[in-house]
Amino acid sequence: MSSLQVCGSCGATLGLLEPAMECGCGGLLDLRHDPPAEDGRSLRRLFAARMASAAPCDRSGVWRYRELVLPGVEHDVVSHPEGNTPLLQREGVSRWTGLDHLLLKHEGHNPTGSFKDRGMTVGVTQARRLAVTALACASTGNTSASLAAYGAQAALPVLVVVPAGKVAFGKLGQSLAYGARTVMVRGDFDACLRLVREASARLGVYLLNSVNPFRIQGQKTIMFELLEQLGWEAPDWVVVPAGNLGNTAAFGMALVEAHRLGLTDRVPRLAAVQAEGASPFAAGFAEGFARRRKVAAETVATAIRIGDPASWDRAVRSIRDTDGVVTAVTDAEILEAKAVVDGSGAGCEPASAAAVAGARQLRQRGVMARDDRVVAVLTGHILKDPEVLLEYHRETDPPRPRQNPPVEIEPTLADLERVLHIV
């Protein structure tokens, strides 16, 4: 079996071991693999059998699908392992969205607390195959946390470039703790990405943002694993929060591929949800993607505070191929959705809650039917962003919906009783 890198814009091809991050024409590269020899039914059996295996490659929820990710690579992978995340049903969240059959695919259960580990295991494995000497990324926080961890495991130096003052504490702490050289730039994520793309070309460090096609291959497995958990019965909708559009791109590819290979009998519709203050892709969708848009981004969901998404063209293909939709939700809606998800015991970071807020809005607008089977992807863990969480539950007048402020007392039984009576 063999694979190629193919330019999404002009169709030019490159070998798998070419370290280029983009085509000469400026288009992003995608990987194309020869189709596996097995048919859909045999593949389903193969993937299921690996769940009972003790081999390191089979223990990973990414490498378990290796024929569709990076065929022929199964030894020397840099794997934590990752993936194998739960598909949750939470009554309170379903009720709030108005959807009878809503499930939550919780990618916050990955080793560094976000979906980024799925792409990073593939990207860092490829970096080792290329024998590069250093790794780099720009990030709103999760990519850097993940790269820092996988780089440490691979014993490669890591440079991360983040917007100063705009990265949630949990993520910044991870990057420092895993030992990455962490640079805070006085500028937004878009400026950081421009800088690191330039630096990687000039300084020869290997770039691990989602422009890297190997990362996208790993992120496809969120969909493969989800479909497998549903017995390969495709849902009606998959809802994803959208920032730099790597996931939107990866999900569309995976859903179309799963159908083409006979793993599923149809393609679910994709709903990409942006924060209103960072919604160039939603604006593009509203005008039929007539042109590429950029905005100066601002939102409480710092993970998706992105104004010039890199995977725009790939994501447009995903939306078109899946008969998808793109929408935007306000910060207030994101925070309320987060309080609902947190209050259900599942918990997630603000950007993830955008998917749930989006599902509710699409139901209210009648785009989704009450009995549609919908899966919202929760991209990050509740502990990633403790500042937003504590700020939300601080006492305010008027109180926010579902606010739960802490109560301070003297160490007396009388005080404790008084508090309990209030409850």
* Contact call for residue 210 and ligand F0G (CB under 6 A): yes
In the shown chain, the binding pattern of residues 290 to 319 toward ligand F0G, with x for contact by CB under 6 A and - for none, equals -------------xx---------------
Q: CB-wise, 5 or 110, nearer to ligand F0G? A: 110
94 binding ligand F0G? (CB under 6 A): no
193 binds ligand F0G (CB under 6 A): no
- The reply to whether 247 sits near ligand F0G by the rule CB under 6 A is yes
Distance CA 266, CA 258 (A): 9
Q: Does 275 bind ligand F0G (CB under 6 A)?
A: no
User: Under the criterion CB under 6 A, does residue 212 sit at the interface with ligand F0G?
Assistant: no
Structural element, H or E, at residue 183:
strand 181-185
Measure Cα distances from 22 to 198, 202, 207, 211 in Å: 12, 14, 11, 8
Cβ-based neighbours of 184, under 8 Å, separated by 6 or more: 162, 163, 164, 165
Among 3, 142, 174, 279, binds ligand F0G (CB under 6 A): 142
Both tokens assigned to 227: 């479909």
Largest CA distance in the chain: 76
Whichever of 81 and 380 has its CB closer to ligand F0G, that residue is 380
Q: Which of 8, 81, 83, 141 binds ligand F0G (CB under 6 A)?
A: 141
d(CA 255, CA 318): 9
Report if residue 356 touches ligand F0G, rule: CB under 6 A: no
Amino acid at 413: L
Q: Which stretch binds ligand F0G (CB under 6 A): 134-142, 257-265, 357-365, 366-374?
A: 134-142
CA distance 297 to 282: 13
Stretch that binds ligand F0G, among 63-71, 136-144, 231-239, 407-415 (CB under 6 A): 136-144
Using CB under 6 A as the binding criterion, the count of chain residues that bind ligand F0G stands at: 23
The residue among 209, 206, 153 whose CA lies nearest residue 179 is 153
What's the rounded Cα separation, in Å, for the pair 355 and 53? 34
* Member of 221, 244, 279, 299 binding ligand F0G (CB under 6 A): 244
List residues near ligand F0G by CB under 6 A: 114, 116, 139-143, 210, 241-248, 303-304, 349, 351-352, 379-380
